[in-house]
A and B are shown apart, each in its own frame.
With several copies, the nearest count.
Chain A
Protein backbone atom coordinates (compact mmCIF):
# COMPACT_ATOMS: atom_id res chain seq x y z
CA UNK A 1 0.00 0.00 0.00
CA UNK A 2 2.80 2.37 0.82
CA UNK A 3 4.66 1.51 -2.34
CA UNK A 4 1.51 2.25 -4.34
CA UNK A 5 1.10 5.48 -2.42
CA UNK A 6 4.66 6.46 -3.32
CA UNK A 7 4.39 5.11 -6.85
CA UNK A 8 4.59 8.25 -8.96
CA UNK A 9 7.58 9.65 -7.10
CA UNK A 10 10.03 7.00 -8.36
CA UNK A 11 11.35 9.45 -10.92
CA UNK A 12 14.48 8.14 -12.58
CA UNK A 13 16.05 11.27 -14.05
CA UNK A 14 18.64 10.39 -16.66
CA UNK A 15 20.04 13.47 -18.38
CA UNK A 16 21.14 12.91 -21.96
CA UNK A 17 23.04 15.99 -22.98
CA UNK A 18 24.06 16.22 -26.62
CA UNK A 19 25.08 19.12 -28.84
CA UNK A 20 24.20 17.23 -31.99
CA UNK A 21 20.63 18.52 -32.50
CA UNK A 22 21.96 22.07 -32.64
CA UNK A 23 23.39 21.55 -36.12
CA UNK A 24 20.09 20.40 -37.63
CA UNK A 25 17.90 22.82 -39.54
CA UNK A 26 15.62 22.95 -36.50
CA UNK A 27 18.56 23.87 -34.30
CA UNK A 28 20.75 26.96 -34.45
CA UNK A 29 19.53 27.98 -37.94
CA UNK A 30 15.95 28.12 -36.68
CA UNK A 31 16.97 30.05 -33.57
CA UNK A 32 18.87 32.58 -35.65
CA UNK A 33 16.01 32.90 -38.07
CA UNK A 34 13.60 33.41 -35.19
CA UNK A 35 15.68 36.16 -33.56
CA UNK A 36 16.12 37.70 -37.00
CA UNK A 37 12.40 37.85 -37.74
CA UNK A 38 11.55 39.12 -34.27
CA UNK A 39 14.10 41.90 -34.56
CA UNK A 40 13.14 42.64 -38.14
CA UNK A 41 9.46 42.99 -37.24
CA UNK A 42 10.07 45.15 -34.19
CA UNK A 43 12.63 47.31 -36.03
CA UNK A 44 10.01 47.86 -38.72
CA UNK A 45 7.45 48.80 -36.10
CA UNK A 46 9.96 51.09 -34.43
CA UNK A 47 10.73 52.77 -37.74
CA UNK A 48 7.04 53.09 -38.54
CA UNK A 49 6.45 54.71 -35.17
CA UNK A 50 9.26 57.22 -35.66
CA UNK A 51 7.70 58.10 -39.01
CA UNK A 52 4.21 58.44 -37.51
CA UNK A 53 4.37 62.20 -36.78
CA UNK A 54 5.27 62.81 -40.44
CA UNK A 55 2.49 60.53 -41.64
CA UNK A 56 0.13 62.40 -39.33
CA UNK A 57 1.23 65.74 -40.80
CA UNK A 58 0.34 64.45 -44.26
CA UNK A 59 -2.98 63.04 -43.09
CA UNK A 60 -3.88 66.24 -41.26
CA UNK A 61 -3.44 68.12 -44.52
CA UNK A 62 -5.83 65.87 -46.44
CA UNK A 63 -8.27 64.86 -43.70
CA UNK A 64 -8.15 67.77 -41.29
CA UNK A 65 -11.55 67.34 -39.73
CA UNK A 66 -11.15 63.77 -38.59
CA UNK A 67 -8.98 64.35 -35.55
CA UNK A 68 -11.55 66.77 -34.23
CA UNK A 69 -14.30 64.24 -34.81
CA UNK A 70 -12.34 61.66 -32.88
CA UNK A 71 -11.87 63.92 -29.88
CA UNK A 72 -15.35 65.24 -29.21
CA UNK A 73 -15.79 67.38 -26.13
CA UNK A 74 -18.17 64.84 -24.64
CA UNK A 75 -17.09 63.56 -21.23
CA UNK A 76 -14.88 60.50 -21.15
CA UNK A 77 -16.13 57.52 -19.23
CA UNK A 78 -15.35 58.01 -15.56
CA UNK A 79 -15.57 61.77 -15.77
CA UNK A 80 -18.70 63.36 -14.50
CA UNK A 81 -20.89 64.64 -17.26
CA UNK A 82 -22.95 67.80 -17.11
CA UNK A 83 -26.03 65.65 -17.01
CA UNK A 84 -24.86 63.85 -13.91
CA UNK A 85 -23.96 67.14 -12.31
CA UNK A 86 -27.44 68.43 -13.01
CA UNK A 87 -28.89 65.30 -11.48
CA UNK A 88 -26.78 65.60 -8.38
CA UNK A 89 -27.75 69.21 -7.99
CA UNK A 90 -31.39 68.24 -8.29
CA UNK A 91 -30.90 65.40 -5.84
CA UNK A 92 -29.26 67.73 -3.39
CA UNK A 93 -31.98 70.30 -3.59
CA UNK A 94 -34.47 67.49 -3.18
CA UNK A 95 -32.59 66.27 -0.15
CA UNK A 96 -32.69 69.79 1.22
CA UNK A 97 -36.46 69.70 1.05
CA UNK A 98 -37.35 71.58 -2.09
CA UNK A 99 -40.28 69.74 -3.72
CA UNK A 100 -38.91 69.33 -7.24
CA UNK A 101 -39.22 65.87 -8.74
CA UNK A 102 -36.61 64.23 -10.94
CA UNK A 103 -38.58 62.63 -13.74
CA UNK A 104 -36.02 60.51 -15.43
CA UNK A 105 -32.28 60.49 -15.81
CA UNK A 106 -29.72 58.06 -16.98
CA UNK A 107 -26.08 57.37 -16.22
CA UNK A 108 -24.36 57.72 -19.56
CA UNK A 109 -21.73 55.03 -19.10
CA UNK A 110 -20.91 53.06 -22.19
CA UNK A 111 -22.19 49.90 -20.53
CA UNK A 112 -25.61 51.43 -20.32
CA UNK A 113 -25.66 52.76 -23.83
CA UNK A 114 -27.62 49.98 -25.43
CA UNK A 115 -27.75 50.17 -29.19
CA UNK A 116 -31.06 51.92 -29.56
CA UNK A 117 -29.83 54.55 -27.17
CA UNK A 118 -26.66 54.98 -29.12
CA UNK A 119 -28.97 55.47 -32.04
CA UNK A 120 -30.80 58.17 -30.21
CA UNK A 121 -27.52 59.88 -29.45
CA UNK A 122 -26.15 59.59 -32.93
CA UNK A 123 -29.15 61.12 -34.55
CA UNK A 124 -28.17 64.46 -33.18
CA UNK A 125 -24.51 64.29 -34.06
CA UNK A 126 -24.43 62.15 -37.16
CA UNK A 127 -24.07 62.96 -40.82
CA UNK A 128 -26.97 64.48 -42.72
CA UNK A 129 -28.25 61.93 -45.22
CA UNK A 130 -27.53 62.69 -48.86
CA UNK A 131 -30.40 63.70 -51.09
Chain B
Protein backbone atom coordinates (compact mmCIF):
# COMPACT_ATOMS: atom_id res chain seq x y z
CA UNK B 1 0.00 0.00 0.00
CA UNK B 2 2.75 2.33 0.99
CA UNK B 3 4.60 1.28 -2.15
CA UNK B 4 1.63 2.23 -4.33
CA UNK B 5 1.51 5.62 -2.64
CA UNK B 6 5.23 6.01 -3.18
CA UNK B 7 4.89 5.10 -6.83
CA UNK B 8 1.99 7.47 -7.41
CA UNK B 9 3.84 10.31 -5.71
CA UNK B 10 6.83 9.54 -7.92
CA UNK B 11 4.60 9.47 -10.98
CA UNK B 12 3.19 12.86 -10.03
CA UNK B 13 6.72 14.16 -9.58
CA UNK B 14 7.71 12.73 -12.95
CA UNK B 15 4.69 14.39 -14.54
CA UNK B 16 5.91 17.71 -13.19
CA UNK B 17 9.18 17.36 -15.11
CA UNK B 18 7.36 16.99 -18.43
CA UNK B 19 6.00 19.81 -20.53
CA UNK B 20 2.38 18.84 -19.88
CA UNK B 21 1.72 20.82 -16.67
CA UNK B 22 2.75 24.06 -18.38
CA UNK B 23 0.80 23.37 -21.58
CA UNK B 24 -2.04 25.84 -22.14
CA UNK B 25 -4.58 25.83 -24.91
CA UNK B 26 -2.78 28.84 -26.32
CA UNK B 27 0.38 26.80 -26.80
CA UNK B 28 -1.59 24.10 -28.55
CA UNK B 29 -3.19 26.70 -30.81
CA UNK B 30 0.19 28.18 -31.66
CA UNK B 31 1.68 24.73 -32.34
CA UNK B 32 -1.18 24.08 -34.76
CA UNK B 33 -0.48 27.41 -36.44
CA UNK B 34 3.20 26.50 -36.73
CA UNK B 35 2.32 23.17 -38.31
CA UNK B 36 -0.04 24.98 -40.68
CA UNK B 37 2.86 27.19 -41.79
CA UNK B 38 4.98 24.12 -42.44
CA UNK B 39 2.11 22.50 -44.35
CA UNK B 40 1.52 25.57 -46.52
CA UNK B 41 5.21 25.84 -47.29
CA UNK B 42 5.50 22.21 -48.37
CA UNK B 43 2.16 21.59 -50.03
CA UNK B 44 1.53 25.03 -51.53
CA UNK B 45 5.13 26.23 -51.97
CA UNK B 46 4.27 29.48 -50.15
CA UNK B 47 7.64 31.14 -49.37
CA UNK B 48 9.10 27.87 -48.08
CA UNK B 49 12.51 29.34 -47.28
CA UNK B 50 10.83 31.45 -44.61
CA UNK B 51 7.70 29.59 -43.58
CA UNK B 52 9.54 26.34 -42.76
CA UNK B 53 11.96 27.98 -40.29
CA UNK B 54 9.24 30.20 -38.84
CA UNK B 55 6.70 27.40 -38.63
CA UNK B 56 9.02 24.96 -36.93
CA UNK B 57 10.23 27.80 -34.70
CA UNK B 58 6.64 28.45 -33.60
CA UNK B 59 6.34 24.80 -32.59
CA UNK B 60 9.61 24.96 -30.67
CA UNK B 61 8.72 28.24 -29.00
CA UNK B 62 5.45 26.86 -27.67
CA UNK B 63 6.77 23.81 -25.87
CA UNK B 64 6.32 24.92 -22.26
CA UNK B 65 9.49 24.60 -20.27
CA UNK B 66 10.24 23.74 -16.67
CA UNK B 67 10.31 26.76 -14.40
CA UNK B 68 13.79 28.07 -13.69
CA UNK B 69 15.45 26.66 -16.81
CA UNK B 70 16.90 29.10 -19.27
CA UNK B 71 15.62 27.81 -22.60
CA UNK B 72 13.46 30.28 -24.55
CA UNK B 73 14.29 33.42 -26.49
CA UNK B 74 13.18 35.59 -23.58
CA UNK B 75 15.32 33.80 -20.93
CA UNK B 76 18.57 35.47 -20.01
CA UNK B 77 21.60 33.34 -20.89
CA UNK B 78 19.82 30.78 -23.04
CA UNK B 79 21.14 29.63 -26.41
CA UNK B 80 18.01 30.80 -28.18
CA UNK B 81 18.41 34.20 -26.58
CA UNK B 82 21.91 34.56 -28.03
CA UNK B 83 20.61 33.58 -31.46
CA UNK B 84 17.61 35.89 -31.02
CA UNK B 85 20.01 38.76 -30.33
CA UNK B 86 20.35 39.29 -34.08
CA UNK B 87 16.57 39.69 -34.35
CA UNK B 88 16.18 41.84 -31.27
CA UNK B 89 18.90 44.28 -32.25
CA UNK B 90 17.99 44.30 -35.93
CA UNK B 91 21.29 42.78 -37.06
CA UNK B 92 19.91 39.98 -39.26
CA UNK B 93 17.71 42.09 -41.57
CA UNK B 94 20.54 44.21 -43.02
CA UNK B 95 22.58 41.05 -43.61
CA UNK B 96 19.64 39.60 -45.51
CA UNK B 97 19.48 42.81 -47.51
CA UNK B 98 23.16 42.34 -48.35
CA UNK B 99 22.31 38.98 -49.88
CA UNK B 100 19.21 40.31 -51.61
CA UNK B 101 21.32 43.09 -53.12
CA UNK B 102 23.83 40.52 -54.33
CA UNK B 103 21.10 38.54 -56.09
CA UNK B 104 18.97 41.40 -57.45
CA UNK B 105 19.28 42.42 -61.04
CA UNK B 106 18.30 46.08 -61.29
CA UNK B 107 18.71 46.18 -65.06
CA UNK B 108 14.99 45.92 -65.84
CA UNK B 109 14.48 48.90 -63.58
CA UNK B 110 17.28 50.78 -65.32
CA UNK B 111 15.56 50.33 -68.66
CA UNK B 112 12.12 51.34 -67.30
CA UNK B 113 12.63 54.46 -65.17
CA UNK B 114 8.93 55.30 -65.15
CA UNK B 115 8.04 52.04 -63.44
CA UNK B 116 10.09 53.08 -60.42
CA UNK B 117 7.26 55.37 -59.35
CA UNK B 118 4.91 52.42 -58.90
CA UNK B 119 7.20 51.24 -56.11
CA UNK B 120 6.68 54.61 -54.43
CA UNK B 121 2.91 54.58 -54.85
CA UNK B 122 2.54 51.23 -53.14
CA UNK B 123 3.96 52.72 -49.94
CA UNK B 124 0.62 54.42 -49.44
CA UNK B 125 -0.30 51.14 -47.76
CA UNK B 126 2.37 51.76 -45.15
CA UNK B 127 1.26 55.24 -44.22
CA UNK B 128 -2.51 54.70 -44.34
CA UNK B 129 -2.12 51.68 -42.08
CA UNK B 130 0.05 53.77 -39.82
CA UNK B 131 -2.80 56.26 -39.51
CA UNK B 132 -5.30 53.47 -38.96
CA UNK B 133 -3.20 51.97 -36.21
CA UNK B 134 -2.95 55.37 -34.54
CA UNK B 135 -6.76 55.61 -34.53
CA UNK B 136 -6.99 52.15 -32.96
CA UNK B 137 -4.94 53.24 -29.97
CA UNK B 138 -1.43 52.12 -30.88
CA UNK B 139 1.33 54.52 -29.85
CA UNK B 140 2.98 56.32 -32.76
CA UNK B 141 6.02 54.02 -32.46
CA UNK B 142 3.88 50.91 -32.50
CA UNK B 143 1.75 52.30 -35.32
CA UNK B 144 4.87 52.88 -37.42
CA UNK B 145 6.00 49.30 -36.89
CA UNK B 146 2.52 47.98 -37.72
CA UNK B 147 2.24 50.14 -40.83
CA UNK B 148 5.46 48.83 -42.31
CA UNK B 149 3.78 45.43 -42.77
CA UNK B 150 2.32 47.09 -45.88
CA UNK B 151 5.84 47.39 -47.21
CA UNK B 152 5.59 43.64 -47.82
CA UNK B 153 9.19 43.20 -46.84
CA UNK B 154 9.96 40.84 -43.98
CA UNK B 155 13.44 42.07 -43.13
CA UNK B 156 12.36 45.72 -43.22
CA UNK B 157 9.41 44.98 -40.94
CA UNK B 158 11.59 43.11 -38.46
CA UNK B 159 14.21 45.83 -38.52
CA UNK B 160 11.77 48.65 -37.86
CA UNK B 161 9.90 46.69 -35.18
CA UNK B 162 13.14 45.93 -33.37
CA UNK B 163 13.82 49.66 -33.24
CA UNK B 164 10.36 51.08 -32.55
CA UNK B 165 8.21 48.39 -30.94
CA UNK B 166 10.22 45.38 -29.76
CA UNK B 167 7.24 43.96 -27.88
CA UNK B 168 5.25 43.62 -31.11
CA UNK B 169 8.12 42.18 -33.15
CA UNK B 170 6.85 38.62 -33.17
CA UNK B 171 3.33 39.50 -34.26
CA UNK B 172 4.51 41.95 -36.90
CA UNK B 173 7.04 39.53 -38.33
CA UNK B 174 4.53 36.69 -38.48
CA UNK B 175 1.92 38.96 -40.04
CA UNK B 176 4.38 40.28 -42.62
CA UNK B 177 5.57 36.85 -43.67
CA UNK B 178 2.06 35.38 -43.61
CA UNK B 179 0.76 37.96 -46.02
CA UNK B 180 3.89 37.79 -48.15
CA UNK B 181 3.21 34.08 -48.46
CA UNK B 182 -0.42 34.81 -49.25
CA UNK B 183 0.32 37.37 -51.97
CA UNK B 184 -0.99 34.97 -54.65
CA UNK B 185 -4.28 34.81 -52.71
CA UNK B 186 -4.66 38.46 -51.65
CA UNK B 187 -3.63 40.36 -54.75
CA UNK B 188 -5.54 38.83 -57.70
CA UNK B 189 -9.07 39.83 -56.61
CA UNK B 190 -7.93 43.42 -56.09
CA UNK B 191 -6.17 43.41 -59.43
CA UNK B 192 -9.25 42.17 -61.26
CA UNK B 193 -11.43 44.66 -59.40
CA UNK B 194 -9.38 47.73 -60.26
CA UNK B 195 -8.46 47.00 -63.89
CA UNK B 196 -10.44 46.52 -67.07
CA UNK B 197 -9.67 43.72 -69.52
CA UNK B 198 -8.27 46.28 -71.99
CA UNK B 199 -5.86 47.56 -69.40
CA UNK B 200 -4.72 44.05 -68.52
CA UNK B 201 -3.98 43.43 -72.20
CA UNK B 202 -1.60 46.38 -72.55
CA UNK B 203 1.75 45.15 -73.80
CA UNK B 204 5.02 46.70 -72.67
CA UNK B 205 7.97 47.44 -74.95
CA UNK B 206 11.00 45.22 -74.77
CA UNK B 207 13.45 46.76 -72.26
CA UNK B 208 16.61 48.28 -73.74
CA UNK B 209 20.04 46.77 -73.15
CA UNK B 210 21.71 48.10 -70.02
CA UNK B 211 25.49 48.30 -70.04
CA UNK B 212 27.70 46.91 -67.31
CA UNK B 213 28.91 50.41 -66.46
CA UNK B 214 25.37 51.64 -65.83
CA UNK B 215 24.78 48.70 -63.55
CA UNK B 216 27.91 49.59 -61.57
CA UNK B 217 27.05 53.26 -61.23
CA UNK B 218 23.45 52.69 -60.29
CA UNK B 219 23.83 51.19 -56.79
CA UNK B 220 26.21 53.97 -55.77
CA UNK B 221 24.04 56.78 -57.11
CA UNK B 222 20.82 55.29 -55.78
CA UNK B 223 22.42 54.79 -52.38
CA UNK B 224 23.43 58.45 -52.24
CA UNK B 225 20.01 59.70 -53.34
CA UNK B 226 18.12 57.53 -50.86
CA UNK B 227 20.26 58.07 -47.80
CA UNK B 228 20.80 61.78 -48.31
CA UNK B 229 17.02 62.18 -48.34
CA UNK B 230 16.26 59.58 -45.68
CA UNK B 231 19.37 58.93 -43.59
CA UNK B 232 17.35 56.64 -41.33
CA UNK B 233 17.38 54.07 -44.12
CA UNK B 234 21.19 54.02 -44.05
CA UNK B 235 21.76 50.48 -42.82
CA UNK B 236 19.12 48.70 -44.91
CA UNK B 237 19.71 50.69 -48.08
CA UNK B 238 23.46 50.64 -47.53
CA UNK B 239 23.59 46.88 -47.28
CA UNK B 240 21.22 46.43 -50.22
CA UNK B 241 23.30 48.50 -52.60
CA UNK B 242 26.59 47.26 -51.14
CA UNK B 243 25.50 43.74 -52.03
CA UNK B 244 24.44 44.91 -55.47
CA UNK B 245 27.76 46.64 -56.06
CA UNK B 246 29.57 43.43 -55.08
CA UNK B 247 27.48 41.66 -57.70
CA UNK B 248 27.80 44.15 -60.52
CA UNK B 249 31.36 45.39 -60.21
CA UNK B 250 32.74 42.16 -61.78
CA UNK B 251 35.83 42.08 -59.56
CA UNK B 252 34.26 40.79 -56.33
CA UNK B 253 32.28 37.91 -57.74
CA UNK B 254 33.36 35.53 -54.99
CA UNK B 255 32.15 37.90 -52.26
CA UNK B 256 28.82 38.44 -54.02
CA UNK B 257 28.42 34.73 -54.46
CA UNK B 258 28.98 34.05 -50.79
CA UNK B 259 26.63 36.87 -49.80
CA UNK B 260 23.79 35.55 -51.93
CA UNK B 261 24.24 31.88 -51.06
CA UNK B 262 25.56 30.62 -47.76
CA UNK B 263 25.61 33.93 -45.92
CA UNK B 264 21.96 34.73 -46.59
CA UNK B 265 21.08 31.08 -45.98
CA UNK B 266 22.65 31.07 -42.53
CA UNK B 267 21.01 34.33 -41.56
CA UNK B 268 17.66 33.19 -42.96
CA UNK B 269 17.77 29.97 -40.94
CA UNK B 270 18.56 31.83 -37.73
CA UNK B 271 16.16 34.71 -38.35
CA UNK B 272 13.20 32.57 -39.30
CA UNK B 273 13.71 30.07 -36.53
CA UNK B 274 14.17 32.75 -33.85
CA UNK B 275 11.19 34.78 -35.00
CA UNK B 276 9.13 31.62 -34.77
CA UNK B 277 10.49 30.82 -31.31
CA UNK B 278 9.55 34.29 -30.11
CA UNK B 279 5.84 33.60 -30.57
CA UNK B 280 5.19 31.73 -27.34
CA UNK B 281 1.48 31.92 -26.64
CA UNK B 282 1.71 34.23 -23.61
CA UNK B 283 3.64 36.81 -25.63
CA UNK B 284 1.81 36.34 -28.89
CA UNK B 285 -1.84 35.61 -28.13
CA UNK B 286 -2.77 39.17 -27.22
CA UNK B 287 -5.63 41.29 -28.55
CA UNK B 288 -3.07 43.49 -30.27
CA UNK B 289 -1.82 40.54 -32.30
CA UNK B 290 -5.26 40.11 -33.82
CA UNK B 291 -5.45 43.84 -34.58
CA UNK B 292 -2.02 43.64 -36.17
CA UNK B 293 -3.18 40.82 -38.43
CA UNK B 294 -6.28 42.76 -39.47
CA UNK B 295 -4.27 45.92 -40.12
CA UNK B 296 -1.65 43.90 -42.02
CA UNK B 297 -4.28 42.54 -44.40
CA UNK B 298 -5.67 46.04 -44.96
CA UNK B 299 -2.16 47.32 -45.50
CA UNK B 300 -1.44 44.76 -48.23
CA UNK B 301 -4.72 45.47 -49.95
CA UNK B 302 -4.23 49.24 -49.86
CA UNK B 303 -0.65 48.93 -51.11
CA UNK B 304 -1.79 46.77 -54.02
CA UNK B 305 -4.60 49.15 -54.87
CA UNK B 306 -2.32 52.16 -54.51
CA UNK B 307 0.14 50.79 -57.01
CA UNK B 308 -2.54 49.89 -59.55
CA UNK B 309 -4.40 53.19 -59.28
CA UNK B 310 -1.20 55.19 -59.57
CA UNK B 311 -0.32 53.31 -62.74
CA UNK B 312 -3.74 54.27 -64.16
CA UNK B 313 -3.12 57.86 -63.04
CA UNK B 314 0.24 57.90 -64.82
CA UNK B 315 -1.42 56.57 -67.97
CA UNK B 316 -3.38 59.83 -68.16
CA UNK B 317 -0.13 61.59 -69.04
CA UNK B 318 1.89 58.96 -70.88
CA UNK B 319 2.08 58.32 -74.62
CA UNK B 320 3.00 54.69 -74.11
CA UNK B 321 0.66 53.48 -71.39
CA UNK B 322 1.75 51.23 -68.55
CA UNK B 323 -0.07 47.98 -67.92
CA UNK B 324 -1.69 48.85 -64.57
CA UNK B 325 -1.25 45.28 -63.33
CA UNK B 326 2.38 46.25 -62.88
CA UNK B 327 1.32 48.56 -60.08
CA UNK B 328 0.51 45.55 -57.93
CA UNK B 329 4.16 44.55 -58.13
CA UNK B 330 5.04 47.78 -56.34
CA UNK B 331 4.47 46.04 -53.02
CA UNK B 332 7.78 44.30 -52.82
CA UNK B 333 7.24 40.67 -51.72
CA UNK B 334 10.00 39.82 -54.22
CA UNK B 335 9.45 37.90 -56.42
CA UNK B 336 5.96 36.70 -55.56
CA UNK B 337 4.01 39.78 -56.51
CA UNK B 338 5.88 40.08 -59.81
CA UNK B 339 4.96 36.47 -60.47
CA UNK B 340 1.31 37.11 -59.73
CA UNK B 341 1.31 40.00 -62.21
CA UNK B 342 2.90 37.74 -64.78
CA UNK B 343 0.40 34.93 -64.29
CA UNK B 344 -2.61 37.25 -64.50
CA UNK B 345 -1.17 38.86 -67.61
CA UNK B 346 -0.77 35.44 -69.20
CA UNK B 347 -4.34 34.55 -68.19
CA UNK B 348 -5.64 37.32 -70.40
CA UNK B 349 -3.19 36.89 -73.26
CA UNK B 350 -0.75 33.97 -73.40
CA UNK B 351 1.68 36.20 -75.33
CA UNK B 352 1.82 38.98 -72.72
CA UNK B 353 4.93 38.28 -70.65
CA UNK B 354 5.01 40.85 -67.85
CA UNK B 355 7.53 39.20 -65.52
CA UNK B 356 10.59 41.21 -66.51
CA UNK B 357 8.65 44.46 -66.43
CA UNK B 358 7.09 43.61 -63.08
CA UNK B 359 10.54 43.17 -61.54
CA UNK B 360 11.11 46.92 -61.93
CA UNK B 361 8.33 48.14 -59.58
CA UNK B 362 9.04 45.07 -57.47
CA UNK B 363 12.61 46.05 -56.60
CA UNK B 364 11.62 49.73 -56.49
CA UNK B 365 9.12 48.67 -53.84
CA UNK B 366 11.95 47.22 -51.76
CA UNK B 367 13.77 50.54 -51.92
CA UNK B 368 10.55 52.44 -51.26
CA UNK B 369 9.64 50.58 -48.11
CA UNK B 370 13.20 50.78 -46.79
CA UNK B 371 12.98 54.56 -47.20
CA UNK B 372 9.57 54.59 -45.54
CA UNK B 373 11.07 52.63 -42.64
CA UNK B 374 13.92 55.09 -42.44
CA UNK B 375 11.57 58.06 -42.26
CA UNK B 376 9.37 56.43 -39.63
CA UNK B 377 12.36 55.45 -37.55
CA UNK B 378 14.03 58.84 -37.71
CA UNK B 379 10.82 60.67 -36.78
CA UNK B 380 9.64 58.28 -34.08
CA UNK B 381 12.91 57.14 -32.47
CA UNK B 382 12.94 58.16 -28.87
Q: Which residues of A contact B (CB under 8 A)?
A: 4-9, 11-19, 21-22, 24, 26-50, 52-53, 55-56, 59, 63, 66-67, 69-71, 77, 110-111, 113-116, 118-120, 122-123, 125-131
Contact = CB atoms under 8 A, between A and B. Distances in A.
Contacts of B364: 42, 45
B10 to A, nearest CB: 8
B117 A46 contact: yes
A6 B371 contact: no
A93 B154 CA distance: 47
Given A46-B116, A128-B343, A131-B192, 9 more contacts: A17-B136, A38-B371, A41-B371, A43-B117, A45-B367, A46-B114, A47-B113, A49-B116, A129-B188
16 contacts: A4-B24, A22-B131, A33-B379, A38-B371, A42-B120, A44-B229, A46-B114, A47-B113, A52-B217, A59-B213, A66-B213, A67-B211, A110-B253, A114-B261, A119-B338, A129-B187
Contacts of B104: 116
B212 A70 contact: yes
A127 B184 contact: yes
Interface in B145-183: none
B113 A129 contact: no
Contacts, number: 226
B175 to A, nearest CB: 17
A45 B226 contact: yes
Contact of A37 (B14, B185, B211, B344): B14
A35 B123 contact: yes
Nearest to B210: A52
Given A34-B375, A43-B117, A50-B113, A115 B49 contact: yes
B110 A71 contact: no
Contacts of B45: 122, 125-127
B286 A11 contact: yes
Contact of B225 (A18, A45, A77): A45
A37 B10 CA distance: 13
A128 B192 CA distance: 14
A124 B53 CA distance: 25
A9 B343 contact: no
Contacts of B100: 115
Is chain B's interface secondary structure helix, strand, loop, or mixed overall? helix
Interface string B242-272: 0000000010011001001100000000000
B367 A42 contact: yes
Nearest to B43: A66
B277 to A, nearest CB: 17
Interface of B: 10, 14, 17, 23-26, 29, 42-45, 49, 100, 103-105, 109-110, 113-114, 116-117, 119-121, 123-124, 126-128, 130-131, 134-137, 140, 184-185, 187-189, 192, 211-214, 216-218, 221-222, 225-226, 229-230, 250, 253-254, 257, 260-261, 281-282, 285-287, 290-291, 334-336, 338-340, 342-344, 355, 364, 367-368, 371-372, 375-376, 379-380
A18 B120 contact: no
A11 B285 CA distance: 8
A8 B126 contact: no
Contacts of A130: 184-185, 188-189
A43 B367 CA distance: 12
Given A8-B282, A31-B130, A13 B287 contact: yes
A13 B117 CA distance: 39
A38 B136 contact: no
Contact of A49 (B113, B128, B281): B113
B144 to A, nearest CB: 8
B380 A26 contact: yes
A48 B218 CA distance: 9
B379 A70 contact: no
A99 to B, nearest CB: 25
A111 B140 contact: no
Contact of A123 (B17, B290, B339): B339
Nearest to B258: A111
Given A34-B126, A34-B376, A8 B113 contact: no
B169 to A, nearest CB: 18
A21 B117 CA distance: 29
